[in-house]
Each structure stands twice: as structure tokens, then as C-alpha cells.
Amino acid sequence: MPSLHPSYPIETDRLSLRQFQKDDLADLFAIFSRQDVTRYLYWPVLGRDETRDLLSRWIAQVGLDEEGDAISLAICRRDSGQLIGEVMLRWLSEVHSQGEIGFMLHPDHHGHGFATEAARALLELGFDRFGLHRIVGRLEARNRPSAAVLERLGMRLEAHLRENEWVKGEWNDEQVYAILHAEWDAIDKD
Ligand SMILES: CC(C)(COP(=O)(O)OP(=O)(O)OC[C@H]1O[C@@H](n2cnc3c(N)ncnc32)[C@H](O)[C@@H]1OP(=O)(O)O)[C@@H](O)C(=O)NCCC(=O)NCCS
């Protein structure tokens, strides 16, 4: 069975993607206690204890050994070292060779391409290191900034599912973006 245990941090032009650690709690709480961050996520704003539980899970998510596993990394700016968000690669299916990416940023750091840069590094892991066949990104259809990240990465809108989920007291539409390994290989990455 394939497995993936990259060495960390993963460095990009402006970012360092590293494992989460216990003393990230305050930085993570500063992100998840904001309504504008959780607006289109499945969960509402988090309290300190809930953020601690999430952090414990993310600290453990550093490699892919079986389907369902995820790699969750802290997005840190290389210029300041500051933790500004989270990026994730999940192994969805072994038999179908599928993965999923996800990301979030503190709003103070929106508008610089940091989410795109971090997610691109995880697509690289998923395709070039782990050999996945297809990677998806799923979002609430009103989450335009998230769709724009996926489009910048070269992903295509494959599905718009009308009112398929009941979230936070209302019907939500879900969109599914995807990119195939062959499409990733064809992208000019310079
Ligand atoms: C989704 C989310 C991460 C997008 O953040 P973002 O800052 O818009 O995305 P990026 O970091 O890729 O930055 C892109 C923006 O920076 C600009 N930019 C500046 N320099 C750039 C560069 N070098 N490369 C790419 N974009 C750059 C882009 O033009 C774009 O700006 P625009 O939205 O005005 O067109 C953010 O909205 C978020 O954290 N939301 C809350 C959590 C969430 O919903 N996560 C997704 C769940 S599906």
C-alpha cells in the first residue's frame, strides 16, 4: 500500500508549511473565533476548547497511510514566521486514487495569493509525490473566494449540487471542482 510522509517544513516562495504544534492554539483560535472565517464551513465559530480539540487532531495529521487520512499543515509566512492559516490534503479513496484539498486563512492575510500558493504545494504532494489520479475541492456555492483559489490552481467546476446539504439552519448548494493528474502535468508551472 502506498504511503506519504513528507519532511517538514515544505517551503514555497513566501510560505513555510509545517506541522501544527501545541502552542499554535492562540493563533488558531484567532482564526476560528471569527464569523467571517466559518461562514461557509460546516461548523460555527469555535470556542477555545473546541479549537484545542481540532488542533490535537491536526497535530496528528502529518502523513497518509490509509484512505481517509489527511495531512493538515500550518501556513506560516516566511517573512514573519506568523501562522496565518491551514491547508489540507486528504486521501479520499485508494481504489479510485482520489484526494481532496482544503484551506483557510486569517482575513488579515487575504488578497496576497497565500492560499493559492499553499494549496498548489499540496497538489504537488498529491500528484507528484503520492501519484493520485484526481483531486477535488468542495465548497459552499456562495464561497466565491474559495472557488477563485481552485480556479487559479487550474481546477474545473464539475458539479453544482442544488440544496444538497442542510447546514446552519438553511439549505446549502455544494460545488465540486476537480483536476486530473494529466491536467496538472499539462499546466505550465513557471
Ligand atoms: C478561501 C480563502 C482562503 C481565500 O483567500 P484569498 O486571500 O482570497 O485567496 P489567496 O490567498 O489565494 O489570494 C487571492 C487574492 O490575492 C490576489 N493576489 C495577490 N498576489 C497574488 C499572487 N502572487 N498569487 C495569487 N493571487 C494573488 C488575487 O488577485 C486574489 O485577490 P482578489 O480576490 O481580489 O482577486 C479565504 O477567503 C478564507 O480563508 N475563507 C474562510 C475559510 C474558507 O471558507 N475556506 C474554504 C472552505 S471551502
Is 4 inside any structural domain?
no
User: Across-strand partners of 161?
Assistant: 174
Residues at CB less than 6 angstroms from ligand 1: 37, 40-41, 102-105, 110-116, 139, 143, 145-146, 148-149, 152
Is 59 inside any structural domain?
yes
Say what the pLDDT of residue 189 is.
Answer: 80
What pLDDT digit, counting tens, does each position of 68-77 carry? 999 999 999 9
Is 6 inside any structural domain?
no
For residues 150 and 158, the answer to whether their CB atoms sit within 8 Å is no
First to last CA, the chain: 33
What's the pTM?
0.97
Question: Between β-strands 98-105 and 134-140, what pairing exists: parallel, antiparallel or unpaired?
Answer: parallel
Is 1 inside any structural domain?
no
Average pLDDT over residues 59-81: 97
What pLDDT digit, counting tens, does each position of 89-130 carry? 999 999 999 999 999 999 999 999 999 999 999 999 999 999
Is 76 inside any structural domain?
yes
For residues 68 and 28, the answer to whether their CB atoms sit within 8 Å is no
Is 125 inside any structural domain?
yes
User: Which residues, in sequence order, are CB contacts of 155 under 8 Å at separation 6+?
Assistant: 135, 136, 137, 177, 178, 179
Q: Which atom of ligand 1 is nearest to the CA of 137?
A: 48
Number of domains in the chain: 1
Tell me the C-alpha distance between 139 and 121, whole Å. 20
Is 116 inside any structural domain?
yes
Residue numbers of the domain that contains 121: 11-186
Say if residue 188's pLDDT is above 90: no
Residues in the chain: 190
User: Which CATH number is 146's domain given?
Assistant: 3.40.630.30
What pLDDT digit, counting tens, does each position of 129-163 carry? 999 999 999 999 999 999 999 999 999 999 999 99
Tell me the C-alpha distance between 172 and 116, whole Å. 24
Is 41 inside any structural domain?
yes
Say if residue 190's pLDDT is above 80: no
Kindly report the protein residue whose alpha carbon is nearest to atom 48 of ligand 1.
139
